[in-house]
């Protein structure tokens, strides 16, 4: 799990890495080459990994039950380069995050690629369902597999997207699952996609636009008009638009759109953190932040360190003071805790 540099998400989670699309502009393939180590030597360490047939009967795919280490004891992040690999030891990462986040699942892979075993995908989905405080965003060039593997539908925190780069592959949006949150990532934008695909803007819930990055000498720089046309159609259909920083040189910082759907604009907290931050009022049972209530402390004898035994909301605390005949409004307004113990009735 990594704090992401991708502008439209908080974290990336890569339980599956690697891809076989062989796109010329792929940033992930370039990155894995830097952190793979000596792939030839890694393949010789057969006791450290296993393989199984690819879903499309192409070359076998790899499975790691635990991180593979190099000769100095450091983790090899991509020991098989950009070959599809299931990192089983990463499946518990979402539950380690205390706050709800927008998580891009598979930033270093196409986890719905036709070669990825369905069991891998179902394992990932099960982990997402077990940690519902997060929003999960998936992105693939094989959107038909969303339906094939049966992704969970009707959940607000699950977002299914497809990558579109030009007019030739814009039809992919037709395979996005019905009854789900959907989006398209038009990155890198390599041509005018609006003229033949107006219906797309009525069917998706979010549009991301970006230009090709890197040092590819043949990369296509999007024309300003291509971007304008997308934004006009999105606005007409009330679809939020997020422009990646790669568009700043083209549209200018003052014209950048960084919009999120409502579901992706708020955060929840984990059950563990919620238990630490919230409690029930000892009187009315309202579930509130502990910091907003009076802490109730008790001690059995003078000189003993008081121990916390509960909380009381400020309204109930006022009634508590009245019942004891304590007319001290300044205490009611300022108190953060109250201690009850031997002799305290005189204090």
pLDDT per residue as tens digits for the range 18-50: 999 999 888 888 888 888 889 999 999 999 999
* Distance of alpha carbon 293 from alpha carbon 296, whole angstroms: 9
Q: Taking a C-beta distance cutoff of 8 angstroms, is the pair 181, 159 a contact?
A: yes
- Residue of 118, 107, 98 whose CA lies nearest to 185: 107
| pTM of the predicted model over 0.85 | no
pLDDT tens profile 91-109: 999 999 888 899 999 999 9
Q: Cite the DSSP H helix spans in the chain.
A: 27-34, 39-44, 118-130, 144-149, 200-203, 224-236, 248-251, 271-277, 314-323, 329-334
pLDDT tens profile 283-297: 898 888 888 888 888
Predicted local confidence at residue 347, as pLDDT: 39
First to last CA, the chain: 53
DSSP 8-state secondary structure symbol assigned to residue 269: B
For 133, the token pair is 């405080």
SS3 track for 279-328: EEECCCCCEEEHHHCEEEEECCCCCCCCEEEEEECHHHHHHHHHHCCCCC
pLDDT tens profile 64-79: 999 999 888 889 999 9
| pLDDT above 60 (res 202) | yes
Which regions of 98-249 does DSSP assign to beta strands (E)? 102-105, 135-140, 158-164, 181-186, 207-209, 241-243
- Residue of 113, 119, 226, 102 whose CA lies nearest to 163: 113
Q: Taking a C-beta distance cutoff of 8 angstroms, is the pair 161, 200 a contact?
A: no
DSSP 8-state secondary structure symbol assigned to residue 120: H
Predicted local confidence at residue 110, as pLDDT: 97
């Amino acid at each position: 799990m990594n704090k992401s540099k991708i502008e439209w998400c908080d974290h990336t989670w890569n339980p599956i890495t690697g891809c076989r699309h062989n796109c010329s502009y792929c940033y992930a393939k370039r990155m894995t080459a830097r952190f793979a180590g000596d792939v030839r030597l890694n393949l010789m360490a057969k006791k450290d990994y296993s393989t199984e047939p690819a879903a499309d009967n192409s070359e076998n795919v790899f499975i790691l039950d635990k991180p593979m280490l190099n000769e100095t004891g450091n983790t090899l992040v991509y020991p098989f380069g950009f070959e599809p690999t299931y990192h089983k030891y990463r499946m518990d990462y979402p539950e380690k995050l205390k706050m709800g986040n927008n998580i891009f699942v598979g930033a270093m892979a196409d986890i719905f690629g036709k070669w990825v075993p369905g069991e891998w995908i179902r394992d990932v989905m099960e982990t997402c369902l077990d940690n519902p405080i997060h929003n999960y965003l998936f992105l693939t060039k094989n959107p038909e597999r969303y339906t094939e593997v049966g992704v969970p539908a009707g959940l607000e925190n699950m977002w299914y997207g497809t990558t579109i780069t030009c007019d030739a592959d814009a039809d992919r949006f037709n395979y996005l699952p019905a009854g789900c949150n959907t989006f398209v990532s038009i990155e890198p934008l390599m041509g005018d996609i609006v003229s033949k695909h107006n219906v797309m803007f009525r069917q998706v819930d979010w549009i991301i636009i970006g230009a090709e990055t890197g040092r590819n000498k043949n990369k296509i720089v999007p024309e300003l008009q291509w971007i304008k046309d997308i934004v006009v159609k999105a606005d007409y259909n009330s679809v939020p638009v997020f422009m990646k920083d790669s568009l700043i040189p083209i549209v200018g910082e003052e014209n950048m759109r960084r919009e999120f759907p409502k579901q992706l604009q708020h955060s929840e907290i984990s059950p563990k953190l919620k238990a630490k931050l919230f409690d029930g009022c000892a009187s009315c049972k309202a579930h509130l932040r502990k910091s907003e209530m009076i802490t109730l402390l008790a001690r059995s004898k003078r000189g003993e360190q008081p121990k916390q035994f509960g909380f009381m909301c400020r309204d109930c605390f006022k009634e508590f003071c009245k019942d004891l005949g304590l007319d001290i409004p300044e205490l009611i307004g300022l108190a953060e805790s109250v201690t009850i113990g031997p002799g305290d009735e005189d204090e």
